[in-house]
Structure 1
Amino acid sequence: MGRHFPDDVDVAIVGSGPTGAAYARILSELRPDLRVAMFEVGPAVTDPPGAHVKSIADEDARADAQHRSEGPSSPAADGRLRRAGTFLLADGFQQADEDGIPSVAMSSNVGGMGAHWTCACPRPGDSERITFIPDLDDLLAEAVRLLGVSTDAFDDAPFAHEVRRRLATVFDEGRPAERRVQPMPLAVSVGDDGTVTWSGSDVVFGHVTRNNPRFTLHAEALVRRVLVEDGRVTGLQLIDRTDGTVHEVNAREVVVAADALRTPQLLWASGIRPVALGRYLNDQSQIIHAVRLRDVESTTASRLDPRGRTTVVRQSGVSWVPYTDAEPFHGQVMQLDASPVPLAPGDVPEPGSIVGLGWFCAKELSAEDRVTFDATETDGYGMPAMRVHYLLSEADHAVLDRARDSIKRAAAALGDPLDPEPRTLPLGASLHYQGTVRMGAVDDATTVCDPVSRVWGVDGLRVAGNGVIPTSTACNPTLTSVALAVAGARNIAESLPAARPMQEEVSR
């Protein structure tokens, strides 16, 4: 962490979420000669910086970290669904005669949304996959390494195998092995004493980044312009949010990894406005349901974790019903401790006996689904105000109907539903916004960047995050977006000429 801003760096990274952290990690491993600086608009809310808030043992400290992540103003008090640690778009989230995205939300803190996510890391399948990237599986494997993904962290949970067996009777027939019901890959580790540590950007940074003397992380630094001359990045302009001073940092490469809303916002504010910027915005409509498992024996094993809280997650684990083109939705089956939404409030008679189901639906892509920016009005950070244009198509409604039927069949196989019908959450509740700086094989006005995330027409500028994903997906996007960040970082490592020595080395 640093308060002094450098004058010159080789690579400047805007945003400290998992994809920005992936750039820092890969560059620290492959090009330790490069000077890399990261700038985050929010504060550091954990120690180490970028850790997942669920790993904070003290509940009051955890709540404070979440509150400090909630942006420049108080969350809207208008009844819209909001997850702790995030803040809602104050206005502009819905236009006349459109569905909008009422629960569209962001986080501002070191680690970004990686400090608050559910850590689910499924691989994309069928049409979710990006076909013009031939080494996608290698990149996904590297993302697994960086995020610390495990498929067996909760494999000893007493109800996990039974839950998957029951789900398999409904979904496995006719599916290839890799698309059958299976444990959900999770970015999590479980210690010998049962301590559960959820991965945040701190895990992605790793020791190699933290020990890199040429890497610096600057919190509470609002980057408001990417500087460009003659079609080439020269650096960025930022405001120190602790004292309001303005600074410029020269950089040979700039990576904007803010999020799927603020990355296009920064490009637009910088006068970088490709035709596809902000377009093809897509969210994953989410349906939830809850059941009580039938015919399972009570167990006293692993009911309490070292922090004294009920560890429901170790009772039924987290299972995955993968996306297929035939069934264009993706299912997460988890106990309530791992769910971002309180599915079954009230008494839970036996730990692990109440299971939450969440089905995520792929969206039909449209250039008209977009986020635009106002030339005169500003948001709480003084950046161009956002306006979301978003409409569910007939095909989207048809997928939602099929997903409701699917989740009801899953619930019936598992046990007794707690409510007669599943609940469809407000748009935006998934937090899986994608497409706004989408990647493509060619510059054809439907994409913003190339397969290694270089923005078309601006040398030295790259984008990162879920907004880069060009396909319609139902699976959680973080693993894919980190994989794409790996490709971009490797390309920088291969192509950027050797760095000049740091000033202190020259003086010696």
Structure 2
Amino acid sequence: MGDLPDEVDVVVVGAGAAGCVLAARLSEEAGCRVLLLEAGSTTGLEPEARTPGAAMRLWTGPTSWGDTSVPQPALGGRRVTLPQGRGLGGGSSINGMAWFHGYPADYDAWQAGGAHGWAWKDVRPVFRAIEHNDLGDAEWHGFDGPMRVSRVRDASALALSFVAAGAEIGLPVVEDFNGADREGIGLLQANINDGTRHSVVDGYLLPAAGRPNLTIRAKALVTSIVVESGRATAVQCVDAQGVRRRVVARRSIVVAAGAIRTPQLLMLSGIGMPSHLRKLGIDVVHDLPAVGADLQDHPLATTVWPVVDGSPLWSTTSDADARAYQLLRRGPLASFTQATAKLRTREDLPGPNIQLTLALTALDSNRRAYPEPALTCSVSLLTPTSRGEVRLASADPTDAPLVDPGYLRARADREDLLEGLRLARRLFQGPALKAATGGQALDPPAWDEESLGTFIRDRGGSEWHPVGTCRMGTDSAAVVDSTTMEVNGVLGLHIADASVMPAIPRANTHAPTIMIAERAAQLIREAGAR
């Protein structure tokens, strides 16, 4: 919270999953002075916040921006909660910690769509370099990277019943969702180390924090980027004391504020669609209409099942369980999401398009808890075709932007999600799960097509994986040049976070975002050396 320097070589905006990686990697060059600015505070790093089983307590309050969507027509005009991490670590400090790379075809599609240098062959070595995986140095994993990744510890009887039920109905059991065979059902991996959340703060930022050329400042809201003669030269911000400051960046500015606030910052700086900016009284600095467009997310519908044999997480956190966690980092508090399934709704699809995720507590689609002992199976669409956008609500940087994900706008998305619900019901009819839950859901209460359509409309929500609002590529419509991570038409301004994804991967977006930041750091260094 100290003073801000007047001038540095590189300013990194946002200390989330990408920003922490970028600050750590770019400051490895001893002669490069790096300033990392974070709008939030260090809240979220306390012991309780690092307890995996306490993850859902972090989704509201000071650790989250508290975003909601604009009303969604396909969801009955409801607003959907979209909490994004605020504070050191960003989403890495508040998410469910699930660790998925995605599918090789996801990244090959990026390459085919114009994001040159981002095919599977390019990103696979980066994923391996990131990991310190308890599976060891196998073909698919690294063993000495900065991010700790582990298999489920103390898997619950209900999670094991989930996997067993899948096997009973003929689903392949997956040993490693980041390995050779990624379709089927199984226990998942998470960024958890010895029963404790392992965020990018642990893996990247803290090891780098002692470097004399790295300055980290929290509670510093960047309000605009200064562009002079086609080059980004400085950031305007409000520091922890509420004082307006200007910091010059001699080499570059790297924006890593996420898929919602990265386009917001660009538009506040006059970079975006001219008609939108002028309407709000913002001077147009650079005409780049795609800023804020192509918003994508994984929509979901959450089914809830009673527990008649076994105990869900929140009914097992007794004093004994708390002591087991405090002393040994064991028991139900040492993990959060334990099991998942990646499935396809039609045999003719090239790969899975639905993810079923078991949570050992009963949450509706907005992650609100049910009072009775129950568990949740969320049904997520991995391959949405619907697109949305982020726009400014006003020229005031403290006003939340308008977020329109366009959930289920495409009819095919609604149909696929409905089929995903049917897959969940089929799974819960497997003998192992039927014995644990009785086989009859609390929500939805009826499974005919009309009832399921109403259920999706009234209860549908989001996996909180927004991406794509500053798409990278090599075409003229792309926001970011995929070979340098520089904003097209603005020298010295780079973007490296989930906003640059050309298409959403079939994965929780935490690991892919870290991969983007790692690869981007190298590209930015190379661009600076030329």
Identify the TM-score tier after normalising by the shorter chain. 0.7 to 0.9
* Pairing 1:141–2:141 present: no
* Pairing 1:68–2:66 present: no
Q: 2:377 aligns with which of 357, 360, 376?
A: 357
Q: 1:279 aligns with which of 293, 304, 319?
A: 293
**Structure 2 unaligned regions, length at least 5:** 112-117, 133-144, 175-179, 273-287, 345-349, 446-454
Which residue of the partner structure matches residue 519 of structure 2?
A: 487
State the secondary structure of the residue aligned to 1:177: coil
* Pairing 1:458–2:457 present: no
| Correspondence list, 1:442-481, <5 A | 442-481=474-513
| Cα shift at 1:87 | 1.0
Q: Distance in 2 between matches of 1:257 and 1:278?
A: 14
* Pairing 1:434–2:413 present: no
| Cα shift at 1:362 | 3.0
| Cα shift at 1:311 | 4.3
State the secondary structure of the residue aligned to 1:487: helix
* Pairing 1:398–2:415 present: yes
Q: Distance in 2 between matches of 1:380 and 1:200?
A: 28
- Worse-superposed segment, 234-243 or 398-407: 234-243
| Cα shift at 1:200 | 2.6
Which residue of the partner structure matches residue 355 of structure 2?
A: 330
Kindly tell me: are residues 67 and 53 of structure 1, through their superposed partners in 2, closer, same or farther at Cα, counting changes over 3 Å? Answer: same
Cα deviation per residue 1:92-128 (whole Å; 9 max; x = unaligned)?
A: 5558999685323434323222221111111212643
Q: 2:188 aligns with which of 184, 189, 192?
A: 184
Which residue of the partner structure matches residue 230 of structure 2?
A: 231
One-letter code aligned to 1:184: L
Kindly tell me: are residues 339 and 439 of structure 1, through their superposed partners in 2, closer, same or farther at Cα, counting changes over 3 Å? Answer: farther
Q: Distance in 2 between matches of 1:389 and 1:287?
A: 15
Which residue of the partner structure matches residue 41 of structure 1?
A: 39
- Paired residues of 2:58 and 2:94 also in contact (CA < 8 A): no
Which residue of the partner structure matches residue 411 of structure 1?
A: 428
| Cα shift at 1:225 | 1.4
- Paired residues of 2:340 and 2:358 also in contact (CA < 8 A): yes
- Paired residues of 2:52 and 2:334 also in contact (CA < 8 A): no
| Cα shift at 1:252 | 1.0
State the secondary structure of the residue aligned to 1:106: coil
| Correspondence list, 1:144-293, <5 A | 144-145=131-132, 148-154=147-153, 157=156, 160-170=159-169, 172=171, 177-190=181-194, 196-273=195-272, 274-291=288-305
State the secondary structure of the residue aligned to 1:129: helix
- Worse-superposed segment, 255-264 or 112-121: 112-121
- Worse-superposed segment, 461-470 or 242-251: 242-251
- Paired residues of 2:225 and 2:234 also in contact (CA < 8 A): yes
State the secondary structure of the residue aligned to 1:402: helix
State the secondary structure of the residue aligned to 1:485: helix
One-letter code aligned to 1:358: S
- Report the aligned-residue RMSD: 3.9
More helix by share: 2
| Cα shift at 1:138 | 1.2
One-letter code aligned to 1:455: V
State the secondary structure of the residue aligned to 2:191: strand
One-letter code aligned to 1:14: V
Which residue of the partner structure matches residue 345 of structure 1?
A: 370
Which residue of the partner structure matches residue 89 of structure 2?
A: 111
One-letter code aligned to 1:421: P
Which residue of the partner structure matches residue 49 of structure 2?
A: 53
- Paired residues of 1:16 and 1:39 also in contact (CA < 8 A): yes
Q: TM-score, normalised by structure 2?
A: 0.75
One-letter code aligned to 1:283: D
Cα deviation per residue 1:439-493 (whole Å; 9 max; x = unaligned)?
A: 22x1231554415532222222221222222123342111111101111111233
- Worse-superposed segment, 406-415 or 260-269: 406-415
State the secondary structure of the residue aligned to 2:19: helix
The alignment covers a number of residue pairs equal to 460
Cα deviation per residue 1:195-225 (whole Å; 9 max; x = unaligned)?
A: x211233223254312222111111111111
Q: Distance in 2 between matches of 1:98 and 1:293?
A: 30
**Structure 1 unaligned regions, length at least 5:** 70-84, 191-195, 349-353, 499-508
Q: TM-score, normalised by structure 1?
A: 0.78
- Paired residues of 1:157 and 1:317 also in contact (CA < 8 A): no
Q: Distance in 2 between matches of 1:174 and 1:64?
A: 32
One-letter code aligned to 2:377: L
Cα deviation per residue 1:53-103 (whole Å; 9 max; x = unaligned)?
A: 24399x9xx97995223xxxxxxxxxxxxxxx44134x8555899968532
- Worse-superposed segment, 336-345 or 258-267: 336-345
* Pairing 1:88–2:67 present: yes
Which residue of the partner structure matches residue 136 of structure 2?
A: none
- Paired residues of 1:102 and 1:426 also in contact (CA < 8 A): no
Which residue of the partner structure matches residue 404 of structure 2?
A: 388
Q: Distance in 2 between matches of 1:52 and 1:463?
A: 32
State the secondary structure of the residue aligned to 2:423: helix
Q: Distance in 2 between matches of 1:4 and 1:421?
A: 54
